């Protein structure tokens, strides 16, 4: 039953299609948008259409940007000899927030996942290999997730790169701060043990 009329119902329906937005959240957002000042709604709509029109992949690392080459790849103060391979732009943003990594990135836009029918040709692996041939890269840090697809992808990338002589490393993953060991899975515990450092 249509409680509010077709316009607001259409807005709720479109908002509910966004990832992580259920029916109640969509309804809350729709009411908020309807009560916003008109100029603020126009700015929001313009920002969305402008982003959709002008944001594309960086020509070097394939993160999202509104320029041909993203600010990280353009930054000559960064270590362009070290490339961290991540699954998506959100992973890149997470490492940038830490503020301790000074190299550059390569965004795969996914991981190898046979269950989903996603193979090596469905992610940006070919572009990574071309980049490694064209640039003076000395180390590739594989920072894919600790999930099964992430591990499969890491192993595949490692096998591709090792014959080139470029150093390949994998981020350590382990016990989260505040985590109880009894609730941690075996793979995580093993990675924590293998990634240990001297005190």
Do 194 and 172 form a contact (C-beta atoms < 8 A)? yes
In the prediction, which pLDDT does 147 show? 83
φ/ψ of 167, rounded to 5, equals -65, 135
Please list the rounded mean pLDDT of every run of 10 residues in the chain (199 residues): 77 93 93 95 95 95 96 96 94 87 95 91 94 93 87 93 91 67 66 61
Q: Any idea which architecture 78-172 has in CATH?
A: 3-Layer(aba) Sandwich (3.40)
In the prediction, which pLDDT does 55 show? 95
Rounded Cα distance between 15 and 38, Å, is: 18
Nearest Cα residue to 85 out of 153, 177, 149: 153
In the prediction, which pLDDT does 171 show? 83
Paired tokens of 121: 């040709």
Rounded Cα distance between 89 and 87, Å, is: 7
Paired tokens of 16: 């509910």
In the prediction, which pLDDT does 192 show? 64
Do 113 and 57 form a contact (C-beta atoms < 8 A)? no
The 8-class DSSP code of residue 147 comes to S
In the prediction, which pLDDT does 57 show? 96
In the prediction, which pLDDT does 38 show? 95
């Amino acid at each position: 039953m249509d409680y509010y009329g077709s316009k607001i119902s259409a807005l709720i329906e479109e908002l509910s299609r966004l990832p992580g937005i259920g029916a109640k959240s969509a309804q809350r957002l729709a009411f908020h948008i309807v009560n916003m000042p008109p100029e603020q709604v126009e700015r929001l709509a313009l920002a969305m259409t402008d982003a959709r029109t002008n944001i594309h992949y960086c020509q070097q690392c394939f993160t999202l940007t509104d320029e041909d080459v993203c600010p990280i790849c353009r930054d000559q103060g960064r270590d362009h000899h070290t490339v961290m391979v991540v699954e998506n732009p959100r992973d890149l943003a997470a490492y940038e927030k830490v503020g301790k990594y000074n190299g550059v990135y390569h965004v795969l836009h996914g991981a190898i996942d046979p269950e989903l029918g996603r193979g090596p040709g469905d992610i940006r692996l070919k572009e990574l290999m071309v980049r490694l041939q064209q640039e003076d890269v000395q180390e590739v840090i594989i920072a894919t997730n600790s999930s099964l697809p992430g591990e499969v992808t890491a192993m595949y990338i490692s096998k591709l790169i090792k014959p080139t002589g470029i150093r390949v490393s994998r981020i350590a993953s382990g016990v989260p701060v505040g985590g109880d060991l009894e609730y941690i899975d075996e793979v995580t515990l093993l990675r924590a043990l293998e990634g240990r450092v001297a005190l």
